[in-house]
Amino acid sequence: MKFTINTSTLNHHIQHAAKAISNRTTIPILTGIKMEATNVGIYLTASDTNISIQTHIPLEDEEHVIAEITATGSVVLPAKLLTELIRKLPNKQVEVEVKDNFQTMIRSGQTEVEINGLDPEEYPLLPSINENNTLVISSDILKLMIKETIFSVSHDESAAILTGVMFSLDHGKLTFTATDRHRLALKEMHVESAADITFKNIVVSGKNLNELYKILSEQSEAIHIIVSDNQILFKINNILFYSRILDGVYPDTTRIIPAQSKTDVIVNKQKLLQAIDRASLLSREQNTNIVKMTVDENNGISISSSSSTFGKINEEIKMDEFSGDEVNISFNSKYMLDVLKVLDAEQVKIKFTGAMSPILITPEDDNECVFLILPYRTG
Amino acid sequence: MADNSKFYPTKGRVILHIDMNAFYCSVHEAEEPEKYKGKPSAVSGSVEKRKGIIVTCSYPARKRGVKTGMHVIEALKICPDLMMISPDFQIYKKYSQQFVAICYNYSPLVQVMSIDECFVDITGSKQFGTPLQIAETIQNRVRDELSLPCSIGVAPNKLLAKMGSDMKKPNGITVLRKRDVPHVFWDKHCAFLYGIGDKTASKLEKLGIHTLGQLAHSDLDFLTKHFGVVGKALLDAANGLDDSPVVEERQSNKSIGHATTLPVNFSDIGDIKRVFLNLADQVSRRLRKQQLLCSTVQITIRDPDMKTITRSTTLNTPTEDRKNIFETAMDLFEKHWPEHKPVRLLGLTLQKLAEKKSTPIQLDLFDYDEQDGEEVLTETMDKLRDKFGENAIITAGMLGDDPSVMLRDKKRRGTSLQKDDLSIEHWEASNRDDVKE
């Protein structure tokens, strides 16, 4: 194998692929990135068996020649060294050449590096996925759906299924659900798909989605999502992003979302966020982040918290709408702040269903996303 | 009134450490003198049921060579007329409270260390006499009113007071001053000093420090290098210095625990479950009685070779729920005793306790509406049992014929020891260090 390539393009792609490299892998070959030069371009593959990423560098784009292949072939190079090295090369061009026993020469300007490569035959194959079940979604929407749900996944490995976001697709409606038992985030979007494709209980680890999120562009690029038995594939322009699907059955959350409420409030999101943010400064005792909220028709929303060490805080916010009973509730301010930070609306609707049952938060005129927070029971 | 001031230091404190001698045996002797007075006796588990261990023994028994921690069989070999007594924690508790009450007559600063010992700070107690007079008065009153022997250490700090009470037993009063430290302690092995355990002593040994005198003259930097902050404490202790205050311990318990020795070695998971269910039932009930919640659950497992392990886990949310505590204990057991090798003793301790009314509980999305129902059930069960006794209502899983079932029976529950009645109760001596908190 021998080729020359634009250094910054190679660097860009290696950074993407390296997101699948784990420091804790037990399989030696997976500490490397597989590099394959073909007549249609260069492929970089990295995997930790949980995530696999393959990026494709075409030989040319509309304007420029990116790479020139002198001899096709492949090699596996140590990922950590490769990512560092390519970033630090002096010249715009780099030449990669594999010699006997996978000894690989990397030349750039006056720099010449000889790396001990590994046999690409030992590198595992990418998961094979039947491409029948494909749906198409715009990358900015996928990004939004991840952002609005991922913060609610559990970090408790003892309930592994809750460490993921649950995907379901029914009648062209894609739903992401995440919960850590104390809060829940749900986001729905209409997507293009063959009408007969449905799936449910597809749970993708929050960590993997976080890596995917970093790769997704803000532009509205078409992303193809393909689901198989135990893998989900995201096709992003030149990148294939495979993720393992978590084993297990995701709990049924459909009945958890309350249909009726006792109190409904509409309030300015920014004002509420700032008030709770301030109150949370005094709520850090014993990691409870506990903030108290009382709501009544005359006084509006009052937010308070206290700390035996530092003192107490109390502030009031005017509501735009109120109906129902008075409210007196305590909750984890972090959970509320997480919701308000991702919620994309000027006004939020908060529904209370009781002092010891869920608080429901939605954008004022939007039923596509729902957030639930379970309050604290206080003595 | 005589001027006792000159018997008190102008700066510094006067601390008493009162240690009840052979407490459990002495209590039985006080209750039934005609039966036990002057005779070799020992407290162990229910004698006929188990190959128990001597928890404590009377002075006549000690003279015959019976020691705490011995197997009952062994003890009976060297002392065939040894009278075996089943423990009765209700009585111990009653006597303990009475002797602490006597101490409170001479100072409000009483720190109860366990069921049979306490510290009293009498720095401000001049009106009751000289320190020695107060010690004598307390000792006499404990003897006359409760018929119990005790040893008292009189010293300028807790460390020396504790060492002092240990020097003359039974019925001793020992005054230890700082100036006594060199000739009393410095030729002794490091482990002689209260607070220096075997591990620390052997580490000191490796560093070439064999006696307390050597320790007292060690370089602080050297000790800090090897022991961290403990280094300073070790150096101070060897010099008889200790500035820890006598803290009035009427605050809530640090832990609630229960352990039971099994009649035979258990390895069947069904038996293990029943024992933990009964333990969880009783500890959680006591937790609720005190209006507390726990965040940490710890189990104790002892194998037939007396090797003891404790393993604990911290819960995501504090609990008072029997089921939750039971399940956590079983998870710990399965995780740390996966092969179900035989066990000799099982214990369950609840830690990180907090007052229920000031502890917020994060509700759970999947069972917040069940929690109410569960609680009503528990509350109702508790009420029934408060009124009609512990056996008034139990769950089927608790039924059985091993000692864990007897946990509910306060008089007969044997050497399954309860640790919350007085801040810490002694466990079997072999296990003492494990339970000191």
Of A290, A374, A379, the CB nearest to B364: A374
Taking Cα atoms as reference points, which of B76, B98, B201 lies closest to residue B422?
Answer: B98
pLDDT of residue B403: 63
| Residue boundaries of the structural domains of chain A | 2-122, 134-254, 257-373
Question: A357 vs B361: CB contact, 8 Å cut-off?
Answer: no
B215: in domain:
no
Residue B244's alpha-carbon distances to B155, B156, B159, in angstroms, are: 13, 11, 9
In contact, A122 and A76? CB cutoff 8 Å: yes
Its sign, for the CA torsion B338, B340, B341, B345, is: positive
Q: Do domains A134-254 and A257-373 have the same CATH topology?
A: no
Give the domain CATH number at B261.
3.30.1490.100
d(CA B404, CA B394): 13
Quote the strand ranges of B211-367, DSSP E: 256-266, 292-302, 308-319, 343-355, 361-362
SS3 state at B328:
helix
Whole-number CA gyration radius for chain B? 23
Tens-digit pLDDT string for chain B (437 aa): 557 778 888 888 999 999 999 999 999 999 998 988 888 998 886 555 456 778 888 999 999 988 887 888 888 888 888 888 888 888 888 899 889 989 988 988 898 888 889 999 999 888 889 999 999 999 999 999 999 999 999 999 999 999 999 988 889 999 999 999 999 889 988 888 888 888 888 888 888 898 999 999 988 888 888 888 888 888 999 999 988 888 875 544 578 888 888 878 888 888 899 999 989 998 998 888 888 899 999 999 988 887 888 899 998 888 988 899 999 999 999 999 988 899 988 999 998 888 888 788 888 888 887 767 777 888 888 888 877 777 777 777 777 766 666 666 654 444 444 444 333 333 332 233 333 22
d(CA B216, CA B190): 10
B359: in domain:
yes
Who contacts B83 (Cβ-Cβ below 8 Å, separation ≥6)?
Answer: B35, B36, B39, B40, B41, B42
pLDDT of residue B172: 92
Q: Would you identify the CATH topology of the domain A257-373? A: Proliferating Cell Nuclear Antigen (3.70.10)
Same domain for B1 and B147: yes
Same domain for B145 and B262: no
d(CA B51, CA B301): 17
Taking Cα atoms as reference points, which of B243, B235, B255, B414 lies closest to residue B350?
Answer: B255
SS3 state at B24:
helix
pLDDT of residue A348: 95
B208: in domain:
no
Quote the strand ranges of A157-237, DSSP E: 164-170, 173-179, 183-190, 192-193, 199-205, 222-227, 231-236
Same domain for B380 and B267: yes
- For residue A290, list chain B residues with Cβ-Cβ distance below 8 A: 360
Q: Which residues of chain A have pLDDT under 70?
A: 194-195, 286, 379
Residue with tokens 């128990």: B52
User: Is residue A281 within 8 angstroms of chain B, CB to CB?
Assistant: no
What are A212-242's pLDDT values in tens digits? 999 998 888 899 999 988 899 999 989 999 9
- Residue in B with minimal Cα distance to A292: B360
Class of domain A134-254: alpha beta
Neighbouring CB atoms inside 10 A of B247's CB total: 12
- For residue B366, list chain A residues with Cβ-Cβ distance below 8 A: 181, 251, 256
Percent of chain A topping pLDDT 90: 75
Neighbouring CB atoms inside 10 A of B350's CB total: 30
- CB contacts < 8 A (A, B): 51
Q: Is B117 a catalytic residue?
A: yes
d(CA A311, CA A316): 18
Same domain for B267 and B406: yes
Of B358, B360, B369, the CB nearest to A377: B360
pLDDT of residue A378: 82
pLDDT of residue A83: 94
Q: Would you identify the CATH topology of the domain A2-122? A: DNA Polymerase III; Chain A, domain 2 (3.10.150)
Q: Which domain holds residue B401?
A: 255-418
pLDDT of residue B48: 55
Catalytic residue among B32, B48, B74, B117: B117
In contact, A337 and A280? CB cutoff 8 Å: yes
User: Is residue A284 within 8 angstroms of chain B, CB to CB?
Assistant: no
Distance between A67 CA and the closest CA of chain B, angstroms? 54
Same domain for B262 and B166: no
pLDDT of residue A69: 94
Of A288, A330, A374, the CB nearest to B368: A374
- For residue A375, list chain B residues with Cβ-Cβ distance below 8 A: 363
- Cα torsion B62, B65, B68, B70 to 10°: value is -150
In contact, B152 and B142? CB cutoff 8 Å: no
pLDDT of residue A309: 76
Same domain for B172 and B69: yes
d(CA B271, CA B248): 41
ipTM: 0.81
Same domain for B275 and B149: no
In contact, A211 and A51? CB cutoff 8 Å: yes
Question: A181 vs B355: CB contact, 8 Å cut-off?
Answer: no
pLDDT of residue B416: 43
Same domain for B288 and B403: yes
What are B107-140's pLDDT values in tens digits? 888 988 888 899 999 998 888 899 999 999 999 9
Of B316, B358, B365, the CB nearest to A374: B365
pLDDT of residue B255: 83
Could you tell me the end-to-end alpha-carbon distance of chain A, in angstroms, rounded to an integer?
71
Helices B269-289, B322-336: axis angle to 10 degrees equals 140
B226: in domain:
no
Taking Cα atoms as reference points, which of B119, B89, B88 lies closest to residue B249?
Answer: B119
User: Is residue A184 within 8 angstroms of chain B, CB to CB?
Assistant: yes
Q: How many domains does chain B have?
A: 2
